[in-house]
Structure 1
């Protein structure tokens, strides 16, 4: 889903109070990590990912990897934290995406 400015602003506001539920550590970026991330986004649609201090990758590398290997949207990058959004494949979990489409 291609997000407009108002939609990104809404998603950033919604994710403001979230805690990061995924981390990128010294194992780096793997297809298995991306598959787990995709599964979590199918249930929640909006999450935060933290890049740990011992990670061998930069924030830009993580963003590029996620955007090039999946249909996940990077909404915002704050320091070493990324806010990610993806519309759920399952209709019963589409809470956030329905509100985003109305904006």
Structure 2
């Protein structure tokens, strides 16, 4: 579980990132969760955007992604989800 200070630090790091995954009409599926998990191992911090044609609940989609990838939900703002998971082999971010 991240502290408020750590979340604030990660939000500042994620501000300049572009979303690399999109949740669309199909919603969250296993393939997407696996790809995001692999990307988290490589990057540790990433953004996922929710498209206009997504008809589910944004909060549920964010929770599914966080649980499926065993990541921390740093932020859900507008249609953007920010996820963080410490990498096992490729550690880059040092939390305060």
TM-score range for the pair, normalised by the shorter chain length = over 0.9
- Deviating beyond 6 angstroms after TM superposition, the runs of 4 or more aligned structure 1 residues are none
- The answer for unaligned runs of 5 or more in structure 1 is none
Aligned length: 96
Structure 2: gaps spanning 5 or more residues: none
Q: Are 1:95 and 2:92 an aligned pair? A: yes
TM-score (norm 2): 0.93
1:68 is displaced (CA, Å) by: 3.1
More helix by share: 1
Q: Taking structure 1 as the reference length, what is the TM-score of the superposition?
A: 0.87
Q: Give distance in 2, aligned partners of 1:24 and 1:75.
A: 17
1:53 to 2:52 alignment: yes
CA RMSD of aligned residues (A): 1.1
**Which residue number corresponds to residue 71 of structure 1?**
70
